[in-house]
């Protein structure tokens, strides 16, 4: 595919840079949601743990886990520039996450960024995974996380507000209406 320059201060690599060029639309408004990126971190951390149990070098696994944890905590978000507009299986986002985690893990282990040694984005971070599985799984993790952290608390707040209004208006009686006619009185 040819060589491509990547900013020296970024953890992402050529795959991400190429995707940025190929899908250069709506970069300010349609970035991949943080929740999906963090969910990919959860997935990559879990894979590193399991892959260690199946032969992945312990030092590489530990560094991948640490880098993935930094993704989960949102500390590396500046290294995820891709937009939601990409091919259907989320391959570009998967590779972006692989590159960022690999380069951060390389840095943790004292290696040279971009060298793919001692941690390779495909061979180590993406070991035993496919974009066709990782991206949908990350979407599910992100959905559950957002439901629990944002939607459910908002629904509880709405429920409590309705309860307050019910209590506030419990003694107010008004005439009911049926087919534009007066009907049985009811409380607000």
The CA distance from 9 to 6, in Å, is 9
**Domain membership flag for residue 134:** yes
**Domain membership flag for residue 167:** no
What per-residue confidence (pLDDT) applies to 114?
Answer: 93
At 42, which helix (H) or strand (E)? helix 34-53
**Number of folded domains in the chain?**
1
pLDDT over threshold 90, residue 41: yes
Residue 41 belongs to domain spanning: 14-156
Phi, psi for residue 32 in degrees, rounded to 5: -60, 130
State mean pLDDT over 40-68: 99
Cα three-residue angle 72-37-156, rounded to 5 degrees: 75
What per-residue confidence (pLDDT) applies to 1?
Answer: 61
Q: Are 67 and 54 in contact (CB under 8 A)?
A: no
**Domain membership flag for residue 59:** yes
**Domain membership flag for residue 182:** no
Query: Tokens 């793919």 identify what position?
Result: 116
Q: Which residues pair with 83 in a beta bridge?
A: 31
**Domain membership flag for residue 121:** yes
pLDDT over threshold 80, residue 2: no
pLDDT digits (tens, 9 = 90+) for 68-113: 999 999 999 999 999 999 887 899 999 999 999 999 999 999 999 9
What CATH number is attached to the domain comprising 149?
A: 1.10.275.10
**Domain membership flag for residue 178:** no
Q: Are 41 and 68 in contact (CB under 8 A)?
A: yes
Sorting pLDDT into bands at 50, 70 and 90, what band is 131?
A: confident
State mean pLDDT over 29-43: 97
């Amino acid at each position: 595919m040819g060589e491509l320059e990547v900013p020296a201060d970024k953890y992402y690599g050529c795959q991400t840079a190429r995707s940025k060029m190929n899908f250069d639309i709506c970069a300010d408004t349609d970035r991949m949601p943080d929740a999906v990126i963090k969910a990919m971190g959860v997935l990559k951390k879990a894979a590193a743990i399991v892959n260690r149990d199946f032969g992945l070098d312990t030092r590489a696994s530990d560094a991948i886990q640490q880098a993935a944890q930094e993704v989960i905590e949102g500390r590396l978000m500046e290294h995820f520039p891709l937009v939601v507009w990409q091919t259907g299986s989320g391959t570009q986002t998967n590779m972006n996450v692989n590159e960022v985690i690999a380069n951060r893990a390389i840095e943790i282990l004292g290696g040279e960024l971009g060298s793919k040694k001692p941690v390779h984005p495909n061979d180590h971070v993406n070991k035993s995974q496919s974009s066709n599985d990782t991206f949908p799984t990350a979407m599910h993790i992100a959905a559950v996380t957002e439901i629990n952290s944002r939607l459910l608390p908002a629904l509880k707040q709405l429920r409590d507000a309705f309860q307050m209004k019910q209590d506030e208006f419990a003694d107010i009686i008004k005439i009911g209406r049926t087919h534009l006619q007066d009907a049985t009185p009811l409380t607000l």
